[in-house]
Amino acid sequence: MVQGKWFAPGEDLSAAVLPVRTAVFGRGADDLDALSWNALVYQDGVPAASGRIWWEDGAYRLGDIGVLESYRSQRLGDLVLRLLLFKAQSHAAKEVRLQSPRDVAGFFARLGLKEESVDDTGLVEMMISGEDIDLDTCRHCPKASCPNRK
Ligand SMILES: CC(C)(COP(=O)(O)OP(=O)(O)OC[C@H]1O[C@@H](n2cnc3c(N)ncnc32)[C@H](O)[C@@H]1OP(=O)(O)O)[C@@H](O)C(=O)NCCC(=O)NCCS
């Protein structure tokens, strides 16, 4: 079973969020945790994917969206990204931004994030305006005969 959980700014992340972040990114707790909401996704009770969102310089920023290697390609990353975008939407975000490695930009582009620039280290700055966030999974689906459409 897949379950999602939110951790409010300043909550203890040591048991579930940090093990995922450390395994994927090689980084643990930092000063941003006091300002961020962290989303965690469990697969059958195992903390398998996480990401965070915080407010910075007039925009919501997403970061550290990662899935344990053995849990990839099961749509857990997609769920984390949707949770974070939903949080931004529910806070009436005007803009949501993130920095992505070049080879992951396509993952974020699927949900409408657009490439704006690339920094010296090769990280891609991506952005979506709040009004363009569209979390409706059915709207763009090509299956005309899906019973869910009726
Ligand atoms: C990127 C990452 C979060 C994807 O998580 P995941 O759970 O394996 O991905 P999902 O199963 O949710 O994939 C959902 C969709 O995105 C696509 N996708 C996944 N990784 C992708 C990539 N690197 N580029 C383009 N599309 C990608 C999948 O093919 C799938 O497409 P579909 O909707 O057509 O089936 C995961 O590979 C990861 O943790 N990478 C290392 C950490 C990282 O670089 N994070 C980004 C920095 S913030």
Q: 75 CB less than 6 Å from ligand 1?
A: yes
Alpha-carbon span 81 to 66, nearest angstrom: 10
* Residue 71: its H or E element: none
CATH level 2 (architecture), domain 2-139: 3-Layer(aba) Sandwich (3.40)
| Atom number of ligand 1 nearest to Cα 99 | 48
pLDDT in tens, the chain (150 residues): 999 999 999 999 999 999 999 999 999 999 999 999 999 999 999 999 999 999 999 999 999 999 999 999 999 999 999 999 999 999 999 999 999 999 999 999 999 999 999 999 999 999 999 999 999 877 777 787 888 776
How is the chain split into domains, by residue range?
Answer: 2-139
Q: 13 CB less than 6 Å from ligand 1?
A: no
Alpha-carbon span 109 to 133, nearest angstrom: 11
Q: 51 CB less than 6 Å from ligand 1?
A: no
